[in-house]
Amino acid sequence: MEKIILLIPSIPILIALSLFFVNKKEFVPKLSIFLSSMIAVLGLYGTYHVIRYDEAITGFGGLVIYNELSAILVPYVAILGLVIRKYATKYMWDEAGYKRFFVLLNFIFSAIYLLVMSNNLIVLALAWQLMSISLYLLVSFNVGSNSAVKNAKWTMIIHKAADLVFILGVVLTYKTFGSFDLAVLSEKWLAMSASPVDNPMIFVIGLFFLIAAMMKSAIAPFHIWLPYTSEAPTPVSALMHAGVVNVGGILLNKLAYLLLLTPAVLNIAFVVGLFTAIFASLVMLVVSDIKRSLGYSTVGQMGYMIMEVGLGAFSLAVYHLMVHGIFKASLFLESGGLIKLARHDSNLPKRLTYELFWEEKIKGNTKKAFNFLAFFTILPVLVFVGVKLVLSDDFLEFNASIVILAFAWLTGTQLFLSFFKVSKADSLKVILALVTSFIIVLFTYEFVGLALERFIYGHDAHLFYKAATFNVTTVTLLATLGAIMLIGWLFIYRRHLAKEGSESSGLKWAFYKFLVKEGYYFSLLNIFKRDK
């Protein structure tokens, strides 16, 4: 009975094929939504089965599997798909190619389900490629627009390169380990990890898969396709930012046991992830186009996700991609409503930060209120950290690095945001707002992340942390934290205490120009064009 769950990837294809025979326009979304809600129900049933009986469901000769990773991701994708389809019902109504849109949407969802549920490298390769072509056709959905088609071309070139690198990785894996079956391979890799491995080919394989993941997840220097694809219909943008870019993280989770054997690849993942997170977050703050800004925000989040993988926190990457996906999808999907409101009220949309920090909305004794807030937020963190330190010896070795890096990164980004957007506001409120956001992140990361870790990897989870030998020491972390704080204070000093009208330094302008021009990425590409 439970084997029926394994049919999930085929349901969207059946929907797409049946849509060809639907003549009435209003039946297109109805059929699509009805059948995709079946996927959500099946997915939830599958998750119940995996949790209840603590066993994976396999079928089709071991080609597909519904395991712990699928149990988390399939319902997530299914519910996301349902929301996107429902949203697209009215949003896309007047667009040319309404039926085509739903057909393509179903194809890409099929590819995502297949990718998540694959238990074989060849199936994974097929899903990987099917996703590339479906994405291309969706991004270039507005075929009459030259810029949409041009940007879709860039997307496709990077994805095609990712396909090739992935296929080469699969070929080398088969030649080295003699199997395509991921379950068999994972067992083999786990057994091999017990003793030191000295095979350069494993590093090459790991690197190929990492590069493929980087390309699909828009990690620098392959990030450029994502910020420029916002001309796609809004539901596609939501899907792209919430689902498609996450496949890099999903792939690395599927190959987690391979990466146990190649700590160097994990280290590379950490470095490129960190660089992408910082670079994209900074560019996000300075680009003038709001859609590109959102694109860079996603790039930054993907960098963070890859960084987590690089630290050995594979399950945290899964959690991160889901949380970010929900957040970013809701941002895109509510944009239409905000635009509609803005047409009636020229002051809309207002930012929450604007209302909170510029307009004095909070009545009464604000200082007292924030003291209470500080008491109820900082104290639990101190208790939490204290308990963790007493109970777990590994805290500083494993989790602390992630948590403190999360703090450093989030605080760093938001510090910049504060200075550029809410600089004249009450500093106490700003600081408390930042601390509150940090606490939310810390708590959810620690509790949900740990729960996911136990569910997906069980006792093997600690092996990944050990393999990620690029463990940042406590001293380095504190030094980094101190540097961030110093930079922050320097900004505060220059902003509030330095003399007004002083000339900005050339270095600062050079840095600003570097960010505004998105790292001179296109200038470099244009050199070849000019020569031509």
Partner 1 sequence: MISTIAVFILAAGLPYYLLLERLSFLKSKHIFLISATLFLLADMSTNYIQNEYSTPFVIVALISAVFSVYKATQTTNFYKLAYYLFFVNSPFFLLFENEAAMYSISLLVSLTGIFLTGRFYEKHYGSANYHQITGITLVRPYIGTYLIFYLIAIALYPPFPNSLYFLSYIFNSDPSPLWFVVIITLFFGNFFLAMRVMKKTLFGRPNANIHYVHMTTGEKATHLFVVLLLLLLSVNGFKEVLL
63 lies in the site for partner 1, by CB under 8 A? yes
123 lies in the site for partner 1, by CB under 8 A? yes
Using CB under 8 A as the criterion, what x/- string covers residues 126-165 for binding partner 1? x--xx-xx---x--x--xx-x--x---x--x---x--xx-
- Minimum separation from the CB atom of position 125 to partner 1 (A): 7
Sign, CA torsion 171/138/251/113: negative
200 lies in the site for partner 1, by CB under 8 A? no
First to last CA, the chain: 62
The number of angstroms, rounded, from the C-alpha of 254 to the middle of its chain's C-alpha atoms is 16
Residues 175, 522: Cα–Cα separation, whole Å? 39
Tokens linked to 513: 């120009």
- Minimum separation from the CB atom of position 351 to partner 1 (A): 37
Using CB under 8 A as the criterion, what x/- string covers residues 73-102 for binding partner 1? -----------------------xx--x--
DSSP state of 448: H
- Minimum separation from the CB atom of position 219 to partner 1 (A): 22
Residue 164 or 184: which CB sits closer to partner 1?
Answer: 164
Residue 164 or 515: which CB sits closer to partner 1?
Answer: 164
204 lies in the site for partner 1, by CB under 8 A? no
Q: Which stretch binds partner 1 (CB under 8 A): 117-125, 328-336, 395-403, 472-480?
A: 117-125
Choose among 77, 75, 103: nearest CA to 88.
103
Residue 144 or 196: which CB sits closer to partner 1?
Answer: 144
Q: Can you tell me which of 19, 108, 112, 125 binds partner 1, judged by CB under 8 A?
A: 125
What distance separates the 2 farthest-apart alpha carbons in the chain?
A: 74
- Minimum separation from the CB atom of position 525 to partner 1 (A): 17
Q: How many CA atoms lie within 13 A of 89 on its CB side?
A: 15
Torsion angle defined by CA atoms of residues 257, 262, 268 and 270, in that order, rounded to the nearest 10 degrees: 40
25 lies in the site for partner 1, by CB under 8 A? no
Q: Can you tell me which of 38, 122, 204, 435 binds partner 1, judged by CB under 8 A?
A: 122
Residue with tokens 């450093």: 408
Which H/E stretch holds residue 66? strand 64-66
Residue 215 or 468: which CB sits closer to partner 1?
Answer: 215
Residue with tokens 């938001």: 414
61 lies in the site for partner 1, by CB under 8 A? yes
- Minimum separation from the CB atom of position 315 to partner 1 (A): 30
Residue 157 or 524: which CB sits closer to partner 1?
Answer: 157
Mention every residue, 6+ apart, whose C-beta is less than 8 A from residue 155: 135, 136, 139, 225, 229
Residues 423, 496: Cα–Cα separation, whole Å? 9
Which H/E stretch holds residue 482? helix 474-492
Residue 163 or 453: which CB sits closer to partner 1?
Answer: 163
Contact positions with partner 1 (CB under 8 A) in 159-178: 160, 163-164, 167, 170-172, 174-175
Residue 61 or 364: which CB sits closer to partner 1?
Answer: 61
In degrees, rounded to 5, the angle at the alpha carbon of residue 163 between the alpha carbons of residues 157 and 166 is 140
Residue 154 or 514: which CB sits closer to partner 1?
Answer: 154
Q: How many CA atoms lie within 13 A of 515 on its CB side?
A: 19
321 lies in the site for partner 1, by CB under 8 A? no
**Do 233 and 95 form a contact (C-beta atoms < 8 A)?**
yes
Residue 97 or 482: which CB sits closer to partner 1?
Answer: 97
484 lies in the site for partner 1, by CB under 8 A? no
CA distances from 430 to 18, 116, 285, 468 (A): 54, 40, 17, 35
Residue 144 or 200: which CB sits closer to partner 1?
Answer: 144
Mention every residue, 6+ apart, whose C-beta is less than 8 A from residue 96: none
Contacts with partner 1 by CB under 8 A lie at 61, 63, 96-97, 100, 120, 122-123, 125-126, 129-130, 132-133, 137, 140, 143-144, 146, 149, 153, 156, 160, 163-164, 167, 170-172, 174-175, 180
